[in-house]
């Protein structure tokens, strides 16, 4: 197995694809712009889902499921919304395939009204809420949906931008504007905490400029992460929709004052794009680096021996090690089947399905090392005959590729949990140090252009949001306003483009 990952310094875009390929995270599909999420990548998505879903439920939300297909007329009910999505819809127009004269099949059974594969579900969910909400007693409605959505994309990139993607979309309805605003910010906080605590990804919270808002929103809030190449990635958004969708879909209720009122709604979402964020924030030239909290496999174990007579003692030592780490009872029931090609798999944590893998395949130890490094497994243990003699093992840390020798007795579940927590914390610190070091405050447009050209990163400056000026900056520097950050320690100043007074700084960056 050759080293098959292009170094970041040579070609960052190719490095990204190589990491995905080497880690078997995803693959291109026969449908343009749509990806296949392979088991190694999907396990990361499952870890993300499980973690986020618990956070949603702890903040009082429940899950539901709404139809994939949306009548065309629904999409057009909110003017800005349809403007935003009409150009990238997948449209179902027929209901069957029929044999034509020459024996080939062609679409038949034309539908009376075209149906749109949901690009997002505000419209169809708004329609249902209008039927479910009658009185203030029916509010708030706090519903989340895990689903697939479609938006045709011209230039796609695995995970970051695909025509079909997986996401969750929260949709809530409230009695007052204040409650809706509180919910919008609450969910932004949930996303930010999740990104930092579980993805080890520090994010900047802020609001979007009017130009960058979700089509149909009164206000869009975002969490923005910084990737290793100095480009920003929008990691999640939370929208205060005001009464725009309530008005379009008649979500009204009888209030405490015995009068009819329109409800106030919000929506918020994160997607499989987060896997792209994970890759670009933490991985290195050896491949994927996964934060332990979302790593499907937390530890790989590699037996090292040259002569066959050494195998038995190495195997015995590893078996003993595994009993210490997972206990006899914890060996996976389907172990034999979980072990195609010589992998012996154990559940380290049955509740999260996180695994430990012992690699008994008949390939060279060096290849096995690459194999697990490229999959981002946080820790690797190697055991050879000399280790058995000394009752020690080698521990290799994925996060910094350092190794150390440890006595067999050290390997307990608590020890493993401990070093996983340390690795998680180190990744966050590393990412935060990088992000802080790549954030610059500039006083003029020239200075900003210089910084963006030389270093990239987050550029903070005073700027008065305005569609024409934002377009000008984009055309000239490829940078966009990522957000108007909540943290505004700099006070007021002059807009770097117009010279006007402005109260707030924005963050510019080139973005994915």
Q: Which of 45, 325, 398, 403 is nearest to 344 (CA)?
A: 325
The answer to whether 391 contacts a second copy (rule: CB under 8 A) is no
For 25-61, give the DSSP string: -EEE-SSTT-EEE-HHHHHHHHHHHHHHHHHHHHTT-
Phi, psi of 421 (to 5 degrees): -65, -40
- 176 scored as a contact of a second copy (CB under 8 A): no
Whichever of 165 and 458 has its CB closer to a second copy, that residue is: 165
Q: Is 227 helix (H, G, I), strand (E, B) or coil?
A: coil
Among 115, 317, 388, 431, binds a second copy (CB under 8 A): 115
Nearest to a second copy of 35, 411 (CB atom): 35
Contacts of 366 (CB under 8 A, 6+ apart): 1
Q: Helix 413-437 to helix 273-282 angle, to the nearest 10 degrees?
A: 80
The C-alpha angle 398, 203, 62, rounded to 5 degrees, equals 95
Among 258, 308, 351, 454, binds a second copy (CB under 8 A): 351
Size of the site for a second copy (CB under 8 A): 80
Contacts of 20 (CB under 8 A, 6+ apart): 26, 41, 158, 159, 279
Within 13 Å, how many C-alpha atoms sit on residue 381's CB side?
27
The yes or no reply on residue 256 touching a second copy (CB under 8 A) is no
Give the integer Cα–Cα distance in Å for 8 and 19: 10
Among 1, 13, 64, 312, binds a second copy (CB under 8 A): 64
CB of 432 to a second copy, least distance (A): 26
CB 163 within 8 Å of CB 151: yes
CB-count burial class (<10 Å; 0-12, 13-18, 19+) for 434 = middle
Stretch that binds a second copy, among 275-283, 332-340, 424-432, 491-499 (CB under 8 A): 332-340
How long a stretch of residues is the chain?
512
| Interatomic CA distance for residues 178 and 139, integer angstroms | 14
From the list 134-142, 300-308, 314-322, 372-380, the region that binds a second copy by CB under 8 A is: 134-142
CB of 255 to a second copy, least distance (A): 14
Angle of the 467-477 helix axis to the 445-454 helix axis, nearest 10: 40
Binding mask 273-312 for a second copy (x = CB under 8 A): ----------------------------------------
Give yes or no for residue 258 binding a second copy (CB under 8 A).
Answer: no
Q: If binding is defined by CB under 8 A, does position 154 make contact with a second copy?
A: no
User: For residue 402, what are its two tokens?
Assistant: 């350092």
DSSP label at 340?
Answer: G
Q: Which member of 5, 19, 22, 124 binds a second copy (CB under 8 A)?
A: 124
**Of 21, 51, 76, 394, which one interacts with a second copy (CB under 8 A)?**
76
Report the residue from 338, 406, 422, 425 that binds a second copy according to the rule CB under 8 A: 338
Q: Is 79 in the site for a second copy (CB under 8 A)?
A: no
Closer to a second copy at the Cβ: 93 or 433? Answer: 93
Alpha-carbon distances, residue 470 vs 38, 43, 475, 501 (angstroms):
38, 39, 9, 17
- Of 13, 79, 94, 391, the residue at the interface with a second copy (CB under 8 A) is 94
Task: Say if residue 140 is preceded by a cis peptide, omega within 30 of 0.
Answer: yes
Q: How far is the CB of 126 from a second copy (least distance, A)?
A: 11
Q: How far is the CB of 152 from a second copy (least distance, A)?
A: 5
Q: Which is nearer to a second copy, 118 or 460 (CB)?
A: 118
Question: Does residue 329 touch a second copy according to CB under 8 A?
Answer: no
Q: Which residue in this structure is represented by tokens 């700027």? A: 463
Lay out the site mask for a second copy across 26-45 (x = CB under 8 A, - = otherwise).
-x-xxx--xxxxxx--xx-x
* Residues within window 204-223 making contact with a second copy, judged by CB under 8 A: none
491 binds a second copy (CB under 8 A): no
Q: Which helix (H) or strand (E) holds 316?
A: helix 308-326
Residue 152 contacts a second copy per CB under 8 A = yes
The nearer residue to a second copy, 1 or 316, going by C-beta atoms, is 1
> Pick from 1, 13, 14, 63: which binds a second copy (CB under 8 A)?
63
Tell me the residue ranges of DSSP E strands in 426-488. 439-441, 458-462, 479-485
């Amino acid at each position: 197995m050759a080293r098959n990952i292009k170094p970041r310094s040579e070609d960052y875009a190719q490095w990204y694809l190589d990491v995905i390929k080497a880690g078997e995270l995803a693959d291109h599909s026969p449908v343009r712009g749509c990806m296949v999420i392979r088991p190694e990548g999907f396990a990361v998505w499952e870890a993300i889902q499980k973690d986020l879903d618990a956070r949603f439920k702890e903040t009082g939300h429940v899950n539901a499921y709404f139809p994939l297909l949306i009548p065309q007329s629904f999409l057009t009910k909110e003017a800005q919304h349809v403007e935003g999505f009409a150009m990238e819809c997948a449209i179902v127009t027929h209901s069957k395939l029929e044999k034509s004269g020459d024996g080939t099949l062609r679409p038949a059974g034309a539908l009376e009204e075209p149906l749109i594969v949901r690009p997002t579900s505000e419209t169809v969910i708004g329609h249902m809420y209008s039927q479910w909400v009658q009185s203030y007693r029916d509010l708030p409605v706090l519903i989340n949906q895990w689903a697939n959505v479609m938006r045709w994309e011209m230039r796609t990139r695995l995970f970051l931008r695909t025509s079909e993607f997986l996401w969750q979309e929260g949709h809530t309805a409230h009695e007052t504007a204040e409650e809706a605003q509180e919910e919008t910010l609450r969910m932004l906080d949930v996303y930010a905490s999740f990104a930092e605590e579980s993805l080890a990804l520090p994010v900047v919270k802020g609001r979007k400029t009017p130009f960058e808002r979700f089509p149909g929103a009164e206000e869009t809030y975002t969490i923005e992460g910084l990737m290793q190449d100095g480009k920003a990635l929008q990691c999640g958004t939370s929208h205060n929709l005001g009464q725009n969708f309530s008005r379009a879909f008649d979500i009204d209720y009888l209030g405490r004052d015995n009068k009819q009122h329109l409800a106030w709604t919000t929506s918020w979402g994160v997607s499989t794009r987060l896997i792209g964020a994970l890759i670009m924030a933490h991985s290195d030239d050896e491949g994927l680096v996964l934060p332990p909290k979302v790593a499907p496999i937390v530890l790989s174990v590699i037996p090292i021996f040259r002569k066959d007579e050494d195998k038995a003692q190495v195997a015995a030592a590893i078996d003993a090690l595994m009993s210490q780490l997972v206990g006899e009872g914890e060996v996976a029931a389907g172990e034999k089947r979980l072990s195609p090609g010589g992998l012996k798999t154990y559940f380290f944590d049955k509740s999260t399905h996180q695994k430990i893998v012992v690699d008994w395949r008949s390939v060279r130890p060096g290849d096995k090392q690459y194999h697990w490094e490229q999959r981002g497994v946080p820790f690797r243990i190697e055991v050879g005959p000399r280790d058995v003699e000394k009752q020690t093992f080698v521990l290799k840390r994925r996060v910094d590729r350092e190794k150390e020798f440890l006595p067999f007795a050290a390997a307990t579940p608590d020890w493993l949990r401990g070093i996983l927590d340390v690795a998680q914390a180190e990744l966050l610190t590393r990412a935060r140090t990088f992000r802080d070091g790549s954030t610059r405050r500039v006083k003029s447009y020239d200075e900003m252009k210089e910084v963006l050209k030389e270093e990239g990163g987050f550029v903070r400056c005073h700027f008065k949001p305005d569609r024409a000026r934002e377009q000008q900056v984009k055309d000239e520097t490829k940078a966009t306003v990522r957000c108007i950050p909540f943290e505004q320690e700099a006070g007021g100043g002059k807009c770097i483009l117009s010279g006007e007074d402005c109260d707030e700084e924005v963050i510019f960056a080139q973005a994915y």
